[in-house]
Amino acid sequence: MARHSGRGWYGRVTAAAVGVTAVAAAASVWTAQANQSRGEGDSPRAGVSAPLAQGTAPKAAPASVSADIAHDSDGGAHAVNITIDDGPDPVWTPQVLDLLRAGGVKATFCMIGPQAQAHPDLVRQVVAAGHRLCDHTVSHDTTMDKKSEAYQSQQILQAEEQITKASGGVRPLYYRAPGGAFTPYSRQLAASHGMRPLGWNVDSKDFERPGTAAILATVKRELHLGPTLLFHDAGGDRSQTVAALRTLLPWLKQQGYTFGFPVR
């Protein structure tokens, strides 16, 4: 799976925030809780836990799911999965939500933890509209697969907590590694917390802002590769993404496609 570049706007986690001792301790707590209760791969939907009291941390994680990287759709052979990465963003996420609502389309939003923490109203709008949440780490570090297990754990579990708190207690059901930088450890860790590792089949290349026509052409040309489509609602000017989705969603319906969620 190709890595995305040019996403340095998220920044790197500082050494103080990722102190190995603190991270390892946090990871062991999360693992103990879980025991109590590129993309390859692929099964039934899991429910979400009851909302948390405001300001409290998530408790025991849900039952684990497959650690294989999902690509398929639960909507069947002629369904597509719309996945939206890197938000939420106060400018672009509401516009994407408006398009999805107008088209009666459900999507999966792969959120950056601090973005979710900064915009809990948008996270709750996503959930209220029937979309699903996905953990896209704290810092969007596309070199995560070269980092220690303690670092990977901090990036995944802290973002899970931030997203869950922002949503009011609705947990992310998937984990998407930045740039596809999965490792066996990160996949197993995410799966043990009920988050199916999530890949993609079609990269719209919208992050590079090649023009609306180019985004549409890429998706139509590569749609035969599989059902999971990758777009972005943050990381800069996403007006081309919004324009492309405005055309693409009705076009997909005209071609006989339905919309589903990635398999769990």
Catalytic residue among 85, 141, 203, 233: 85
Catalytic residue among 119, 136, 140, 232: 232
Between CA 136 and CA 147, with CA 142 as vertex, the angle to 5 degrees is: 100
Residues 223, 210: Cα–Cα separation, whole Å: 18
Phi-psi map region of 148: left, alpha, beta (phi>0 left; psi -120 to 50 alpha): beta
Residues 76, 260: Cα–Cα separation, whole Å: 8
Token pair of 79 as six digits: 């369904």
**Residue 85 bears catalytic tag:** yes
DSSP annotation string for 11-40: -PPPTTTT-HHHHHHHHHHHHHHHHH----
Cis peptide before 178 (omega within 30 of 0): no
108 membership: H or E segment, kind and range: strand 107-111
Amino acid making up residue 250: P
For the annotated catalytic residues, the residue numbers are 85, 232
